[in-house]
């Protein structure tokens, strides 16, 4: 069917390749991560996926580097590293 | 916030939004009531700065919505003050009930409208659907091409609105981003000059006064309502002359004269484009380029949308063989809003040997520039051979 | 550069000061008796997101407000944006690309256009012009730009920077601009 009204699906990449906006790159330190899933919940670009065991993974093509995940992580398991 | 101090340079570099704030300040507005919306926000920010810095003696009324912003302006105007507001798009729609109230109550309010698309689809960019939604309300509608015109139009708007033969609110429009955020050199008239042109408002005998209480906007019965509506239209019809006189007088003071329309190289033009707002500048460049190639092209820029400049348009367009109306607006199920009006003006005036084409372009900020206008002109030079007819073209529509 | 009608396109990221740069350039031109406009393009107004702004500078009043399709000078404020700019198409035949980088970006090596290079990031960082990890490169780029365009002497830029950023801010930004003015060099 032809889409006659603007619709957006909640998925990564709805704002384009936002990975190019990044100045700081969030990197998960898996030895600290307790798999709470908060980063996944808060990421505004839906750029974090969780697997069956709640292990988060950041999709860097779409992660825009806003740092919200790092800010929300209760155990400070996400570091922000300056992009090259 | 950058404060643009006056320097040795004659002209200030201002966006249309800042030019509007300077215009309202020079007009010595007494009440500012507005609610922020992209892309209007800086108009009110700048006015707040002026008030805070005591450069402008006015009261800023903080309101919770555009509906209340206009309501506050209505109250202020009804009490004899000089109010100013500005809005855009969704904000103007939210204000809509009060828009009609302002005109019906014959209140000299001036409002800046940063013309922006209406959602959905959500868009913050340029489009004229918002300002044209108030077309039939009794407001005077004036459009600006540049930041200079925004400033000049706002100052003149108070003279027009407060004129005893008119007493109607005036909306001054300018394009979202293309004008609102584009910085251009603007000449600021001296305050004394503006004061001599625009003295303080002399309120009518029927303004609200605690010492002699009256009420406004009362119930009218069917044998009275029509007459009041008729009077609104009379005020608008008379405004045509007032707008021209005020524009002339302003020209004498500043060297920048204004009319109901601006004609650019129309004298011998076979094809004339009619447009409004920031697009007019690009059309002027297109006209010059085409004239060098031997095409007799011209532009009519609509400054005044309401009252409709009937005679001025007819004079400018009657000899043309093709007229293209390029507008950022559309009446769903009909055609370009301005185009259908101009087409019917021509036909009802007995001008039949002309091709009129309604170009719908630039909606929601779609890019349109000199090259597009050259294309449009060239296709009109072909269409003109048809001799007569009306057509609607969505320019640049993707499949 | 002897252009009666000069069109400049600025490409950068939200936070680098691109819109302000375009505004200041217009201000500089105005002070040199030119007519100038500054047109920012608004999209996602977010830090890091691509930002574009234009200038039109002329001896005559500028009427057109549509975006600049082909620029006389294209200023690229960020190396990583290179892939997003079609500099062959967006720069006029005799146009110039002013590039912020410490070395010649390979795709520009065999460009048929003139390319000028300035390490605006290094200069900005040297004078502490940085906000949340992003170097504010507008001042050095402006310095380099008025050099390659011969639009105005440094003193005019100094005046404008003072007007916008006050005594201290103006001074610091001007030092950046001056250094870039001296360091910018043509590589093709
Ligand atoms: S920084 Fe974190 S929250 Fe922000 S986009 Fe990237 S993954 Fe999502
Ligand atoms: S918020 Fe922190 S702890 Fe929770 S899943 Fe994400 S990285 Fe792991």
CATH numeric code, A29-82 = 3.30.70.20
CA of C130 to the centre of ligand 2 (A): 30
| B304 and B182 housed in the same domain | no
Q: What is the DSSP letter of A6?
A: -
CB contact (8 A) between residue B124 and residue C42: yes
CA of B169 to the centre of ligand 2 (A): 58
Contact B68, B33 (CB under 8 A): yes
Q: Which two tokens stand for residue B117?
A: 């698309």
- Strand positions, DSSP E, chain C: 5-13, 35-41, 50-58, 71-76, 91-100, 114-118, 130-131, 134-135, 185-186
Alpha-carbon distance of B277 to B305, in angstroms, equals: 11
Q: Is A23–C80 a contact, with Cβ atoms under 8 angstroms apart?
A: no
Query: Which of A15, A23, A82 is closest, CB to CB, to C48?
Result: A23
CA distance A67 to A71: 6
Where in chain A does DSSP place strands (E)?
24-28, 48-50, 56-58, 78-82
Are C143 and C126 a contacting pair, CB within 8 Å?
no
Pick the atom of ligand 2 nearest to A40's CA.
6
HSE, side-chain direction, 13 A CA sphere, residue B355: 19
User: Reduced to 3 states, what is the DSSP secondary structure of residue A79?
Assistant: strand
Enumerate residues 6+ apart whose C-beta is below 8 A from C173. Answer: C127, C129, C139, C161, C165
- Whole-angstrom distance between the N-terminal and C-terminal Cα of chain C? 16
Domain presence at residue B1: no
DSSP symbols for B98-123? HHHHHHHTT---EEEEEEBPPSSSP-
Separation of A44 CA from ligand 2 center, angstroms? 15
Dist. CA B188–CA B256, nearest whole Å: 12
Least confident of B182-191, B328-337, B343-352, C128-137: C128-137
Ligand at shortest distance from the CA of A28: 2
- In 3D space, the residue among C3, C67, C8 whose CA is nearest the CA of residue C41 turns out to be C67
Number of cross-chain residue pairs from A and B with Cβ atoms under 8 Å apart = 5
Q: Tell me if chain B has a CB within 8 Å of the CB of C26.
A: yes
CATH code, C174: 3.40.920.10
**Would you state the pLDDT for residue C45?**
66
Could you report the per-residue pLDDT of B191-240, keeping only the tens digit for each? 999 999 999 999 998 999 999 999 988 899 999 999 999 999 999 999 99
Query: Does B233 map to a domain?
Result: yes
Q: From the CA of A67, give the closest atom in ligand 1.
A: 1
Residues of A at the C interface, defined by Cβ within 8 angstroms: 15, 18, 20-24, 64-65, 82
Q: Where are the alpha helices (DSSP H) in C32-153?
A: 87-90, 106-109, 120-126, 138-149
| Residue whose structure tokens are 């009794």 | B138
Measured in angstroms, how far is the CA atom of residue B257 from the centroid of ligand 1? 55
* Residues flanking ligand 2, CB < 6 Å: A 28, 33-39, 56, 73, 75, 77-78
Q: CA of C49: which chain A residue's CA is closest?
A: A21
Rounded to an integer, the average pLDDT of C57-62 is: 95
Q: Ligand 2 centroid vs A69 CA: distance in angstroms?
A: 8
Contacts of C39 in chain B (CB under 8 A): 178, 181-182
Q: Which residues pair with B32 in a beta bridge?
A: B60, B84
Say yes or no: B236 and B357 in one domain.
no
Domain count along chain C: 1
The pTM of the whole model exceeds 0.90: yes
**Which residue in C has a C-alpha nearest to residue B368's C-alpha?**
C66
Return the partners of chain C (3 or more C-beta pairs < 8 Å): A, B
> What is the pLDDT at residue B386?
96
**Residue B183 and residue C23: Cβ atoms within 8 Å?**
yes
Chains near A (3 or more Cβ pairs under 8 Å) = B, C
> What number is the ipTM of this complex?
0.93
Q: In this model, does residue B297 exceed pLDDT 80?
A: yes
Question: To the nearest whole percent, how much of chain B has pLDDT over 70?
Answer: 97
The encoded tokens of residue B342 equal: 């101009």
pLDDT band at C31 (very low <50, low <70, confident <90, very high): very high
- Last residue of some domain: B254, B271, B294? B254
* Residue ranges around ligand 1 (CB below 6 Å): A 26, 43, 45, 47-48, 58, 63-69
Candidates C168, C84, C185, C100; CA nearest to C138 is C100
Q: Judge if B276 and B245 occupy the same domain.
A: no
The whole-angstrom distance between C156's CA and the closest CA on chain B is 12
Q: How far apart are CA C40 and CA B182, in angstroms?
A: 6
- Looking at the structure, do residues B128 and B266 belong to the same domain, yes or no? no
- Asked if the structure places residue B399 within a domain, the reply is no
- Residue C155 CA to residue C28 CA, distance in Å, equals 10
Contact A5 B122 (CB under 8 A): no
Which helix or strand (DSSP H or E) is residue A39 part of? helix A38-42
User: Final residue of a domain: which of B220, B254, B288?
Assistant: B254
By C-alpha distance, which of B328, B166, B313 is closest to B238?
A: B166
C68 → chain B, closest CA residue: B369
Same domain, B224 and B266: no
Question: How many domains are contained in chain B?
Answer: 2
Q: What are B132-165's pLDDT values in tens digits?
A: 999 999 999 999 999 999 999 999 999 999 999 9
Question: For the domain that residue B161 is a member of, what is the CATH number?
Answer: 3.40.50.970
Cβ neighbour number for residue C83 with a 10 Å cutoff: 9
Q: B284 and B366 share a domain?
A: yes
Enter the tokens of residue B166: 């008119």
Domain residue spans of chain A: 29-82
Q: Provide the domain limits for residue C108.
A: 6-186
Residues of C in contact with A18 (CB under 8 A): 49
pLDDT tens profile C76-127: 998 777 777 777 788 998 899 999 988 877 776 666 788 999 999 999 999 9
State the average pLDDT for chain B. 95
Domain boundary residue, one of B254, B277, B292? B254
Strands of the sheet with C5-13, listed across from one edge: B11-15, B183-187, C35-41, C50-58, C5-13, C71-76, C91-100, C114-118, C185-186
| Domain range for B273 | 262-394
């Amino acid at each position: 069917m032809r889409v006659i009204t603007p619709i957006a699906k909640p998925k990564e990449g709805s704002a384009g390749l936002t990975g190019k906006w990044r100045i700081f790159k969030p990197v998960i330190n898996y030895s600290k991560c307790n798999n709470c899933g908060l980063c996944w919940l808060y990421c505004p670009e839906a750029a974090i996926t969780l697997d069956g065991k709640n292990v988060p993974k950041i999709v860097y093509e779409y992660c825009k580097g806003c740092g919200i995940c790092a800010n929300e992580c209760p155990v400070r398991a996400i570091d922000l590293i300056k992009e090259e | 916030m950058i404060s643009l101090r006056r320097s040795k340079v004659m002209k200030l570099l201002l966006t249309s939004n800042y030019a509007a704030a300077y215009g309202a300040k020079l007009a010595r507005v007494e009440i500012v009531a507005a609610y922020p919306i992209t892309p209007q926000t800086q108009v009110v920010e700048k006015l707040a700065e002026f008030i805070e810095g005591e450069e402008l003696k006015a009261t800023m009324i903080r309101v919770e919505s555009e509906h209340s912003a206009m309501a506050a302006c209505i109250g202020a105007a009804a009490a004899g003050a000089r109010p100013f507001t500005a809005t855009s798009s969704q904000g103007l729609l939210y204000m809509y009930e009060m828009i009609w109230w302002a005109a019906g109550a014959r209140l000299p309010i001036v409002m800046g409208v940063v013309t922006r698309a209406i959602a959905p689809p959500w868009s913050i960019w340029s489009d004229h659907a918002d300002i044209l939604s108030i077309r039939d309300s009794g407001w005077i509608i004036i459009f600006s091409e540049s930041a200079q015109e925004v400033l000049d139009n706002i100052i003149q708007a108070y003279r027009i609105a407060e004129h005893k033969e008119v007493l109607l609110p005036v909306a001054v429009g300018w394009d979202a981003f293309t004008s609102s955020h584009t910085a251009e050199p603007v000449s600021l008239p001296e305050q004394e000059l503006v004061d001599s042109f625009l003295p303080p408002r002399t309120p009518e005998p029927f303004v609200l006064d605690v010492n002699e209480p009256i009420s406004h906007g009362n119930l009218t019965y069917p044998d009275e309502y029509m007459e009041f509506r008729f009077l609104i239209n009379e005020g608008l019809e008379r405004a045509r002359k007032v707008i021209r006189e005020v524009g002339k007088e302003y020209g004498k003071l500043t060297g920048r004269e204004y009319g109901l329309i601006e004609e650019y190289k129309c004298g011998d033009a076979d094809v004339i484009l009619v447009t409004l707002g920031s697009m007019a500048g690009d059309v002027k460049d297109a006209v010059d380029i085409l004239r060098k190639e031997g095409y007799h092209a011209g532009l009519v820029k609509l400054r005044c949308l309401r009252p409709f400049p009937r005679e001025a348009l007819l004079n400018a367009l009657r000899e043309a063989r093709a007229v293209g109306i390029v507008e950022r607006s559309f009446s769903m199920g009909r055609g370009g809003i301005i185009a259908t009006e101009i087409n019917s003006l021509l036909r009802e005036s007995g001008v039949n040997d002309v091709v009129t084409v309604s170009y719908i372009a630039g909606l929601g900020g779609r890019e349109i520039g000199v090259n597009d206008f050259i294309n449009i002109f060239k296709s009109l030079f072909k269409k003109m051979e048809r001799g007569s007819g009306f057509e609607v073209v969505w320019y640049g529509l993707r499949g | 550069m002897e252009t009666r009608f000069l069109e400049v396109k600025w490409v950068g990221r939200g936070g680098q000061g691109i819109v302000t740069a375009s505004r200041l350039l217009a201000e500089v031109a105005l002070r040199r008796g030119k007519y100038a406009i500054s047109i920012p393009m608004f999209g996602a107004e977010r830090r890091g997101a691509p930002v574009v702004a234009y200038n039109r500078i002329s001896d005559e009043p500028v009427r057109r407000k549509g975006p600049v399709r082909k620029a006389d000078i294209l200023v690229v404020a960020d190396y990583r944006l290179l892939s997003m700019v079609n500099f062959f198409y967006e720069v006029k035949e005799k146009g110039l690309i002013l590039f912020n980088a410490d070395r010649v970006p390979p795709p520009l090596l065999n460009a048929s256009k003139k390319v000028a290079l300035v390490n605006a990031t290094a200069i900005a960082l040297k004078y502490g012009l940085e906000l949340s990890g992003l170097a504010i490169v507008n001042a050095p780029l402006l310095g380099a730009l008025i050099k390659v365009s011969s639009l105005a002497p440094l003193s005019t830029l100094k005046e404008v920077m003072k007007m916008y950023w006050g005594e201290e801010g103006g001074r610091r930004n001007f030092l950046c601009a001056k250094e870039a003015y001296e360091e910018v060099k043509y590589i093709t």
